[in-house]
Structures are given as structure tokens and as C-alpha cells.
Structure 1
Amino acid sequence: MKAIELFAGAGGLGLGVSRAGFSPQMIIEWDRWCCDTIRENRRDGFGLIGTWPEPTEGDVRGVDFRTLEGKIDLITGGPPCQPFSLGGKHRAHADSRDMWPEAVRALRETKPKAFIFENVKGLTRESFATYLSHIVLQMTYPELTAKYGEDWEGHLSRLEKHHTGHRGSTGLEYNVVYRVLNAANYGVPQRRERVVFVGFRNDLDIEWSFPRETHSHDALLSDQLKGNYWERHKVRKADRIVDDRHWGRLDRLTKKTDVLPWRTTRDAISDLPDPELEPLKAKKHHDHRFQAGARTYPGHTGSPLDEPGKTLKAGVHGVPGGENMLRRPDGSVRYFTVRESARLQTFPDEFRFHGSWTETMRQLGNAVPVELASVIARSVKHHLTFGGSDFLK
């Protein structure tokens, strides 16, 4: 099945979609460092990216999608999220970086069978509720565009009237659902929450829901309380950190056997040498170098080794850097290396990032975990292939 990847970044979402069996026909990204990362992996013939087309570097607003009308099964992407992120100025529709209209234009011009878009959890905040409705209705009716001189609120009003009053088919239409997903609940060793939008063209009559969660915090607590987790990692009893508050819940936690334990930072990186304590061994691993200068900030004290990592941030100084750190059991901290960060985002070890440490951490902080993307895309592909039948992982 054929796909288009918008706002590709370093390729996390696209790699997951490719793993699910989609073949990208176009990869679009404006940032040259991200494009260089994709080009480097293409040139090295890395896995699925080795078969990707040359990325289209530039502003998506200059791309004409009409030549691909009717030829695309899936469009994916993460429209720039600064208008909605906690680190931004929260301008939403007034922000020139809001690329949701371009995502909708790609739907309108190619008419794909389905789409997967993602964004920061901040988009679902109460202060953005009205604009979120506008986004969803635009994706539902991509051909009902804003009129000349019409502001977004007027467009929203017209979309709402159309949505409540139309009968029967009125052109291109998608059935859209969205949900805030925690990547840790799908096997990613990082607590990373993103809002994911999935839509199917309504003429396909596909019934779909988000894949069930496969991992849980309760299962991790049970695994640690029973000692299985510590024995698996050969951690001495004196070094095991167990929250005594959960002992009274052990019987109840043990009964939940239908999901796997959350994956922790230790699960993700324990086979890598510590780059600060064992620098010579660390040099044998690509992008695994110690970076000095880590320090904590109030409320930003790094990721505990025996929990999923905290959300990686697209920055390395100030508060973002306070999140992109490992906190060892003795309380000391250091920055995650590029390779460790890539592990937390479930990129394969063979994947190479282009640019300085600061630039690479920005790419990783903006990326979609590959495994989360793969889980969703596999479910979408299954339903496009077999219709409304249930998808069992």
C-alpha cells in the first residue's frame, strides 16, 4: 500500500508506518537537518528507509499533491505543534506555524483511503477545544474549504451546520476518531502522551477503534514487587527500589495477567555501557558519548532508571535538559546519550542521526516513537485490507 509522509521530522512516524507494510511515495520535511538524517540512512541502505524516495526538502505549502489523486492509501504526519505545546505561546490558529490546513489540503488533493496524524497532548487542552473541533471537522469534510475572507470561526460555524444538517453523500468525507495515547502503554520505554487522529474515507464502510493497550504500570509494579524484574536485571537486593505503598495491592495486581509490564529505562539501555563511567567501551557504540553539564531543575529531575523514561524534550538547556537526563538510583544525573534517547524512542540501533548533539536531541525530542507508530499503522493496514474484521495483534 502506498503512503505520503508529511512533516516527516527524523522519520519516526514514517519508519513505523513502513514497518506496518506501507510504501512511502513522498516524504516532505522543511528542516534540512532532519532531511539530512533521512538522506544519510537512505544512502547507507538502512532497512526500510533505504527504499524511501529522496525527501522533498521545503515548505509543504509549495507542494502540489494533485498528481497523486486516487493513488495513495494513507497519509501520515505530525503538523508542527508549537502553536499548541506547553513550551510555545499557545496562539493556535493565529500562529503561522499551524500547518493543519496543509494537512487537510493533502487529503483534499489526494483523497487517500485513510490518514494518521499526531500532535502534542496540549492540543486537547480546554483552551483549544473550539479550534480542535475546527481541525476535526476540516478533516471530516476536506472539500468544504474556507471562503475568501472568511475567518476560522466563520468556517467552523459553516462546518458545524453542514455536519448537523447534511444528508447522504456530499463529496469527500472521512470518519474521524482521536485519542490521547501514552506510548508506554504500547511497549515504548517512555511515558510520552500524544493525541493521535485516525480517519477512514466513509465510502469504505470501515469500523475501527484504537488498538488495545498491551502494557501497564500495574503489571510493572507486580513484576517488581514479586522480584522478577530485579532478578531479570541481576540487581542486588540492597539496590532494589520498591515503593512499599504498593505491597497491599500485590494480590490485585497479580490477577491482571492480560498485559505486559511497562518497559523501563533500564530495560531499554541496560546492555549499553555507561558513557561517563566506561567511556572506552561506550565509544564502540555509535552516538553513545558522554555529554557533560547535566543539572536538575525544580520538577525536572530526569528519568528514574526503573520506570519508563519521562517525555524527551526538543531541547538540551534549561528545563528541557532537565527532562533529557538519566537519574541513577544513587541520585546522580547525567544526560542521555543520542543512542540511549533513540532507544527510548524505539529507533533501531542501526539508525543514524545527522547533526550535533544539540541538533540530534531536538530531532529525537520531536519524534514519534517508532513502535507506537507501527502499532497504529498495522491496525489501519489490516482494516484497509480486510475491511471491518477485528485486528488481533
Structure 2
Amino acid sequence: MALEVVEICAGAGGQALGLHRAGFTHRLAFELDPNACNTLRANSKRLKTTSDDWVVEGDVADSSIWQPMTFAGVDLLAGGVPCPPFTVAGKQLGASDERDLFAWAIEQVEVVRPRALMLENVRGLSMPRFAGYRQHVLDRLRSLGYAADWRLLHASKYGVPQLRPRFVLVAMKPEDFSYFHWPEPSEKNRSTVGGVLKRLMGAEGWSGAEAWARKANDIAPTIVGGSKKHGGADLGPSRAKEAWRLLGVDALGLADHAPRTDADITNPDRGPKLTCDMVARIQGWDDKKFAWEFSGRKTSKYRQIGNAFPPPVAMQLGKAIAAALNHEGQSRSDDPGVKDDPIYVALRKNNGFMTAAQILQQLPSPIELHDLERRISLLGHDFHIEVRNGSSETVYRLGNFKAFLGQEDHDRNAQFLKNRARIS
């Protein structure tokens, strides 16, 4: 049975290509960056989507550009919503970051009512800092009649020669979700930087390509595409640069072409620089099953590639989702029953003021008072928490979620317009 997908924050199409290879057809891809939109359009025929109308450029939360309800009942709503609100390298502002669209995307489930939802983001969203945020997402989906689960997936376990952990949320109606199984990782699929780049590294005649490939016999650190707030193409912070050096790669920028002679390698102690084509290969694109064409200048191409979801990982997830929607394989009777933050659960359930002792009594396992106070403080980043200091005890009440859910008067709207030129 043919399956259709609407994709938000589609970027340069890593997820789009993977889902296409899993059997999905795109009805719409929404993206803010003009160069990434051009890349998507340039690959329409590869996705067997021949009309430019399937790509929409702009702020996905702008109701004047598109109406999500137009796609009610679509098989899959998917997306790689912005990562900066959750990344460890950033400030981890979460719901207070004007780029945060994760909570907004969850709200669209009520409007679109897709058969399945898949959202991916950085590892940071899986950390304790965002336990309350995750719990809100799960509770909201459950209130809409969906079962959901999270999983941290490592791209290197799915044939991509790169560390690249991604935190993925999948949700479906319970009758479909019982057939969903996370794609199994496999060491047999392991590939290395040298293995996938040897041919490209020697394409211009460099005699050292064979020896270089033997040295680069490991996976790469996570490729960091960066944002428009920062400078040009660069393979990451200092720690990542050292990992690249051990692989024989100069991470201080990108090359325009593969080395032709040793003279093209400006820093022999580090090795050759990578081209955009090489970075794309490390990200999971290739010239066969995952062939792709990128639009824009070098820095833009690198940013598109570096911020993408690896196509082979997206394909495996797409196949697992398609199998569940078609009720293929073994049905599970268990409910994932994910509980990310029991403190949030206790405060939300009570819906009134609670003392520390009352909260502690409702937790499934004991914690120290200072740890409770720390975790309530973390909750306060994403939720309004009212604290009253009485004569005897401090009491707490959980208020509204701070995240942008589509409110016209939310601070996100003004901040987005102010910073739009720098948001990627």
C-alpha cells in the first residue's frame, strides 16, 4: 500500500531521501532556508516528485503560508525540527529558544491526525535537563490517543561512517504502534571514513590516497553543520578537530577538490582537507542508492549536509514505520509506558501547591531533597513554576508550558522575525 508523508523542517533532504527509499511519497516538504529548498527541488525527480509545488519555503509555523489541516489523515508527519534549543554546545534554552518548534510540531498532531509521527533531534534532548519537556510531549500525545517512544540512535550502527547520535520520537495509534519495532543496529553494516572516501580522495590522482585510507580506518566524529550565526565551513570544535587529525584529516575548513599531489596538502601533519562531496559521503549520501545534488555555494552546501539526517538511518526508520502501519511482523502486547520525569508527573497530577515532602512521597524511588530542588529548577526553564515560601515549608505548583505552541502573542514570533536572517 502506497504511503504518503508531509515533512516539516526538511533541510536538504536527508530524511526525505531515506523515507523515499523506505517507500514513502512526499506530499509536501517545508523548509526555511532558500538554498536547502533549491536542493530539494533539484532532486524532485529522484524522489519521483516532478512538481515544484511539493516544496514550500518559509516559516513552517506561519499559518498564512500553509494550513496543516489541508493534509489531515496523512500517513506520516515527519521532521527534523531545529536542534539549537537542545544542543549541548549551545545554551540549551529549550522552550525559551525562538527556534524551538518541537512542541509546536506535537500540537500539529491534533490538527493533522497523521497515522504516524516521527521527529528527530540532537542527543541533548535526551538528557536530564529536558526530562520535563519530554514528559510533556509524551503526555500530550497520549491525550491525543497516540502511543509514543523515544530512542537514541547512532548512525554508525546503520552503515554511516560517523558517530552522529540522533534522538528520535515515534508515535502512532496504539493499534499500529503495537507493530512498531525500532530498527536493529548491526556491526555488519559498519563502515569507515577511509573505506567510503578512498576513491574520492584519489579521484584527482593523489598517490597517497591508498595509504591515507588505511590510516582513516575508523568512524568520523559528528559532522557539525553549524548555523548562520557563525562563520564558514569548519569540521567542528577543538575536540572534534583532534579526532579528525587522528584520522588524517585537516579539519580547518574544506577543500575545493581532492588533492592532486602532496603539494595540495597545506598541513602535512594533519592530512588533506575534505570536499563537500566527501562530507556528504560521510553523512550517508552516495552516487548510487543515495545519490543527491546540492545547491548553493560551498559554505551553504556544507551547512546543508552537516545539519542533515543521514539518509540510511531515515530509510531504516521509514521501513520500520511502514511495516507497523501495514501491520507486518509480530505484534507486541507491551506498552512502552515511558516515564521521563516523575517529578513533573507528580506536580501535574496534583494541579495545586505541593510541599517537597508531598512530592517525594509520590516518586517511584527515593531521592535527596537537594536533588529534588535541582530538578524542580530544571523544570523551571521550560515551565512556569510558582514557588511560595511559607512560615514552615516551601511549596511548589507547576504552571503553563513556556514553549511556542502556535500562540499569536508568544515571544517567539517577535524573536523569530528579529533573528530570521540568522536562523538555520
TM bucket normalised to smaller: 0.5 to 0.7
User: 2-side partners of 1:319 and 1:375: how far apart?
Assistant: 27
| Preserved CA contact (<8 Å) 2:180 2:323 | no
| Preserved CA contact (<8 Å) 1:210 1:376 | yes
Q: Which residue does 1:264 correspond to in 2?
A: 192
| SS across alignment from 1:335 | coil
| SS across alignment from 1:60 | coil
From 182, 185, 190, give the equivalent of 1:213.
Answer: 185
Q: Which moved more, 1:82-91 or 1:49-58?
A: 49-58
User: 1-side partners of 2:219 and 2:235: how far apart?
Assistant: 22
| Preserved CA contact (<8 Å) 2:176 2:324 | no
Q: Which amino acid aligns with 1:380?
A: I
Q: Which residue does 1:4 correspond to in 2?
A: 6
User: 2-side partners of 1:304 and 1:183: how far apart?
Assistant: 21
How far off is 1:203 after superposition? 4.6
How far off is 1:364 after superposition? 1.1
How far off is 1:201 after superposition? 1.3
Q: Which residue does 2:413 correspond to in 1?
A: none
Matched, 1:309 2:220: yes
| Preserved CA contact (<8 Å) 2:179 2:331 | no
What percentage of aligned pairs have identical amino acids?
Answer: 30
User: 2-side partners of 1:181 and 1:384: how far apart?
Assistant: 21
Q: Which residue does 2:258 correspond to in 1?
A: none
User: 2-side partners of 1:47 and 1:3: how far apart?
Assistant: 12
Q: Which amino acid aligns with 2:299?
A: T
List gaps (5 residues or longer) in structure 1. 142-171, 216-259, 282-302
Q: Which residue does 2:274 correspond to in 1?
A: 336
From 117, 120, 137, give the equivalent of 1:118.
Answer: 120
Matched, 1:373 2:345: no
Q: Which moved more, 1:9-18 or 1:195-204?
A: 195-204
Over residues 233-253 of structure 1, what are the superposed CA-to-partner deviations in whole Å (9 max), with x where a residue is unaligned? xxxxxxxxxxxxxxxxxxxxx
Q: Which moved more, 1:303-312 or 1:316-325?
A: 316-325
Matched, 1:179 2:151: yes
| Preserved CA contact (<8 Å) 2:223 2:235 | no
Q: Which amino acid aligns with 1:211?
A: P
Q: Which residue does 1:188 correspond to in 2?
A: 160
Q: Which amino acid aligns with 1:79?
A: V
| Preserved CA contact (<8 Å) 1:140 1:173 | yes
User: 1-side partners of 2:182 and 2:152: how far apart?
Assistant: 10
Over residues 91-121 of structure 1, what are the superposed CA-to-partner deviations in whole Å (9 max), with x where a residue is unaligned? 1011111101321132111111111110000
Over residues 268-298 of structure 1, what are the superposed CA-to-partner deviations in whole Å (9 max), with x where a residue is unaligned? 111213478749x9xxxxxxxxxxxxxxxxx
User: 1-side partners of 2:46 and 2:179: how far apart?
Assistant: 35
Q: Which residue does 1:346 correspond to in 2?
A: 284
| Preserved CA contact (<8 Å) 2:76 2:114 | yes
Matched, 1:202 2:202: no
How far off is 1:128 after superposition? 1.8
User: 2-side partners of 1:307 and 1:354: how far apart?
Assistant: 29
How far off is 1:205 after superposition? 5.9
Normalising by structure 2, we get a TM-score of 0.63
Over residues 323-343 of structure 1, what are the superposed CA-to-partner deviations in whole Å (9 max), with x where a residue is unaligned? 475732985233321111111
Over residues 161-215 of structure 1, what are the superposed CA-to-partner deviations in whole Å (9 max), with x where a residue is unaligned? xxxxxxxxxxx31110111111111111111101011111125463323121122
Q: Which amino acid aligns with 1:266?
A: G
Over residues 344-378 of structure 1, what are the superposed CA-to-partner deviations in whole Å (9 max), with x where a residue is unaligned? 11123341111121111111111000000001110
| Preserved CA contact (<8 Å) 1:112 1:201 | no
User: 1-side partners of 2:120 and 2:100: how far apart?
Assistant: 13
| SS across alignment from 2:54 | coil
| Structure-2 change in CA distance of 1:211 and 1:200 (3 Å) | same
Q: Which moved more, 1:129-138 or 1:91-100?
A: 129-138
How far off is 1:318 after superposition? 8.0
Q: Which residue does 1:68 correspond to in 2?
A: 71
Matched, 1:26 2:28: yes
Q: Which residue does 2:55 correspond to in 1?
A: 55
| SS across alignment from 2:326 | helix
List gaps (5 residues or longer) in structure 2. 227-232, 250-267, 333-424
How far off is 1:49 after superposition? 5.6
| Preserved CA contact (<8 Å) 1:2 1:73 | yes
| Preserved CA contact (<8 Å) 1:41 1:50 | no
From 340, 355, 362, give the equivalent of 2:303.
Answer: 362
How far off is 1:304 after superposition? 6.4
| Preserved CA contact (<8 Å) 1:66 1:110 | yes
Runs of 4+ in 1 over 6 A off after TM superposition: none
| SS across alignment from 1:346 | coil
